[in-house]
Amino acid sequence: MSEQENKEGEGQQELVLALSKGRIFDETIPLLKAAGIEVLEDPETSRKLILPTNKPKVRVIIVRATDVPTYVQYGAADFGVAGKDVLQESGATGLYQPIDLQIARCHMAVAVRKGFDYEAAVRRGARLRVASKYVHAAREHFAKKGLHVDIIKLYGSMELAPLVGLSDVIVDLVSTGNTLKANNLVEVERIQEITSRLVVNQASLKLKRKEMQPILEAFKQASVAQESPEKA
């Protein structure tokens, strides 16, 4: 950290950004860079959960993807990045969602074992067993279709459920479709598009506006550029 950067921090309030390891961290790095922030340690190799940045008053904390809204709700982090899927399932309140960052893009879908006649099951109003990590989204989707379903909450590896008879269908995230294909499953309904959003603690936004505003602006610009590179 240069003397200049150290001086920059003087008189500023501290900002904490919550990120999860993996794709969210990796895809947020270019946005941070656009805001002049560089994370000084790699969470894949460091065991540290609080990572310094080149800005003395900005730190990144590494949490589970599903825990990001909780850290931000309680103000343990001033802001964080979380998928629309995670935000929909989270009971966290008082979060401000100012920016769709257009990162970690995928979609939520209904999938079944190859050969399972989903359309016929829906037509005859069969009571389907649905395995998913996304129980709220799944319940809402089937309720809209007027179908009664039994939802089985899972925490991962949803693709396995129809293969071993745990469920008839799954609701999961799909990007390339490779995971479905590798497990002999097919997508039968696209539920919604998913991207990750910046979530901000409302009190932090009021109390630390001066420190936060330039970062939010840079994120906004960089995410517009991600969405339509010709506008950059």
Of 17-25, 29-37, 123-131, 143-151, the window that binds ligand ATP (rule: CB under 6 A) is: 17-25
* Partners of residue 200 on adjacent β-strands: 79, 96
In the block, tokens 């990007």 appear at 175
Of 101-109, 124-132, 182-190, 201-209, the window that binds ligand ATP (rule: CB under 6 A) is: 101-109
Helix (H) or strand (E) holding 227: helix 209-227
Please tell me the distance from the alpha carbon of residue 228 to that of residue 230, in angstroms, as a whole number: 5
69 to 88, contacts with ligand ATP by CB under 6 A?
83, 85-86
Q: How many chain residues touch ligand ATP (CB under 6 A)? A: 17
Q: Which of 17, 20, 78, 215 binds ligand ATP (CB under 6 A)?
A: 20
156 to 185, contacts with ligand ATP by CB under 6 A?
173, 175
b/e code 22-31 from CB counts within 10 Å (16+ = b): ebbbebbeeb
- Report the residue number, 46 or 175, with the smaller CB distance to ligand ATP: 175
Q: How many residues does the chain have?
A: 232
Q: Which of 8, 23, 121, 224 binds ligand ATP (CB under 6 A)?
A: 23
Q: What are residue 77's phi and psi, to 5 degrees?
A: -125, 145
Residue 177 touches which of ligand ATP, ligand PRP, none (Cβ within 5-8 Å per kind) = ligand PRP
